[in-house]
Chain A
Amino acid sequence: MSALLTVQSLQVQYGAVNAVRGIDLEVREGEIIALLGANGAGKSSTLNALVGLAPASAGKITFKGQDVTGSAPERFASLGMTLSPEGRRVFGTLSVQENLLMGAYSMRDKAEIKTAWERVFDLFPILRERREQFAGTLSGGQQQMLAVGRALMSNPRLLLLDEPSLGLAPKIVEQVFELITVLRKQGVTMVVVEQNVSMALEVADRGYVMASGRIAASGTAAELRNSDTLQAAYLGAD
């Protein structure tokens, strides 16, 4: 199958800090990819660089056969790639409904927005109930649902999820992973950054393990589960 997203020798630099030091990734249509690694390994920087939120200082990003390296973040929603950022970052002073509406900002067709809206409300009935409420008053789990729902509003071909289970109660974490399997059935391709390695590898097809800004290991989920590199990466060994 052809690659939906290809990343070649990507580097991300913040001032003097090299967060990502030349990585290659490939995501094929319909796959779930786990991006793993210890804190500071460069996972979030990688995702941010994919959607233009972090500057790619070198390398090439190809999405749907199109070179999107260095594109402005506002272009990606209409291209079909979107990120549900780390820490959820819902608009707390906007209502649930307004948050979702912003997720559909790149769409002009009212009927299309309505369909996306219904799909999100079907996935998360609690959001339908709370649609008038300020997003800031939702619980952490509900905010995570809203963040994912908001990202889904633009009907992405590729959804990037940055730490979707971070800071959530174990029961809610399970729901998040269930959601990922539901989304896959709907045909959404995903890259998931997770610190919950075992659960991530349960839902993922393949994974990449990052350490100090490089890819330390990659392979199918089963291969990674049994490899030592994974543990080594988390202990900080190179």
Chain B
Amino acid sequence: MDLFLQQTVNAFALGGTYALLALGLAMVFSTMGLINFAHGELMTIAGYILMACGLAGVPFAFSILLAIAAAVLAAIVMERIAFRPVRNASGATMLVTSFAVSMILQVLFQNFISARSQAVLVPEILSESVRFGGLVIGVNKIAAIVTTIVMLIFLDRFMKHHRIGIAMRAAAEDFSVARLMGIRANTVIAGAFALSGFLAGVAAVLWVSQRASVDPLMGFTPVLKAFIAAILGGLGSLRGAVAGGFLLGFIEIYLAAYLPSGMQEFRDPIALCLVVLVLIFRPNGLIPSPALKAEKV
């Protein structure tokens, strides 16, 4: 029972990080139909800022802010330089563009920083753990869960009560009619990128806090997972992205905990089979995107 609870906490921590990343992907996808594979590099950029701040002796709380700000800025610049010119192009063109951005950034990190993994100075308190009865929970896990909850509440508020948030939801459902209302396409798309950068920055801080290192390819695996989570939840659906992120986190952690040791090597394929199984029964994901529904009517 204790093991189960322990693993559930782990699943929430990992699932929460996937959810934040998947949300960022879903925001951009729902407003401009782009699956941004360079989302992972936003994480990496935030990771390098944390590393640099650690070397420069900047207090950790302040370096978190700098890292997140850098990810937001990078996302906005990315949209302006790379994605605006292909905004009305096909989904495939945009996808290839995002791969190009991703690879260019990876090569830049390898050549100008280092191809090898760099240590990041993380406060010791994050690697400590707290005991709750029979449970031992890492401080970084608690931080991840609390951060995820705070972020989800913030986003929910923003999308429901802020006029730009409402405009983003409107644009996700029907972009041309939203423009007709006077909602500027640039505002909505830049807003979606800025928020996705914000989420990637936060996710990067959580990710790096667990590993205390950063390398040029750091963003790839989590974003691939987040992409799977976004599809599992229903591509383009924000609630779906959160649901998909948590479900994927649970699947991975429980498989790691309960799969017999001889089968541990097959953990990822089994996890993916479970995802495919869900998609067979719910082809549009757990919570399909509203735009998809609108098209079918």
A-B complex is real: yes
Contacting pair B183 A89 (CB below 8 A): no
A103 with B173, Cβ < 8 A, contacts A92-B293, A92-B294, A98-B166 known: no
Nearest-CB distance from B192 to chain A (Å)?
Answer: 16
Contacting pair B294 A102 (CB below 8 A): no
Check if B1 is an interface residue, CB within 8 A of chain A. Answer: no
Q: What band does the interface of chain A fall in when counting residues whose beta carbon is under 8 Å from B?
A: 20 to 34
Contacting pair A53 B176 (CB below 8 A): yes
Proximity bits, B159-192, A CB within 8 Å = 1, else 0: 0000100110110011011111111110000000
Contacts of A51 in B (CB 8 A): 180
Q: How far is the CA of A76 from the CA of B174 in the complex (A)?
A: 17
Proximity bits, A67-79, B CB within 8 Å = 1, else 0: 0000011111110
Q: How far is the CA of A73 from the CA of B167 in the complex (A)?
A: 15
Contacting pair B185 A94 (CB below 8 A): no
Check if A105 is an interface residue, CB within 8 A of chain B. Answer: yes
Q: What band does the interface of chain B fall in when counting residues whose beta carbon is under 8 Å from A?
A: 20 to 34
Contacting pair B176 A73 (CB below 8 A): yes
Contacts of B182 in A (CB 8 A): 74-78, 105-106, 154
Check if A138 is an interface residue, CB within 8 A of chain B. Answer: no
Check if B290 is an interface residue, CB within 8 A of chain A. Answer: yes
Q: Which chain A residue has the least Cβ–Cβ distance from B184?
A: A74
Contacts of B176 in A (CB 8 A): 53, 73
- How many pairs of A and B residues are in contact by the CB < 8 Å rule? 71
Contacting pair A105 B183 (CB below 8 A): yes
Check if A224 is an interface residue, CB within 8 A of chain B. Answer: no
Q: How far is the CA of A94 from the CA of B168 in the complex (A)?
A: 11
Contacts of A78 in B (CB 8 A): 182
A102 with B178, Cβ < 8 A, contacts A72-B185, A94-B166 known: yes
Contacting pair B180 A76 (CB below 8 A): yes
Check if A85 is an interface residue, CB within 8 A of chain B. Answer: yes
A82 with B170, Cβ < 8 A, contacts A93-B290, A101-B163 known: no
Check if A83 is an interface residue, CB within 8 A of chain B. Answer: yes
Residue from B180, B182, B183 whose CB has the most chain A CB atoms within 10 Å: B180
Q: How far is the CA of A51 from the CA of B181 in the complex (A)?
A: 11
The A38-90 residues at the B interface (CB cut-off 8 A) are: 51, 53, 72-78, 82-83, 85, 89
Check if A91 is an interface residue, CB within 8 A of chain B. Answer: yes
* A to B CB contacts below 8 Å, 27 in the list: A51-B180, A72-B185, A74-B181, A74-B183, A74-B184, A74-B185, A75-B182, A76-B180, A78-B182, A83-B180, A89-B174, A91-B170, A92-B173, A93-B290, A94-B166, A94-B169, A98-B166, A98-B169, A99-B170, A102-B166, A102-B183, A105-B163, A105-B182, A106-B181, A106-B182, A150-B181, A154-B182
Add 18 more A-B contacts to A73-B179, A102-B170 (CB < 8 A): A51-B180, A74-B180, A74-B181, A76-B182, A83-B180, A85-B177, A89-B177, A92-B173, A92-B293, A94-B166, A98-B166, A98-B169, A98-B170, A102-B166, A105-B182, A106-B182, A136-B293, A154-B182
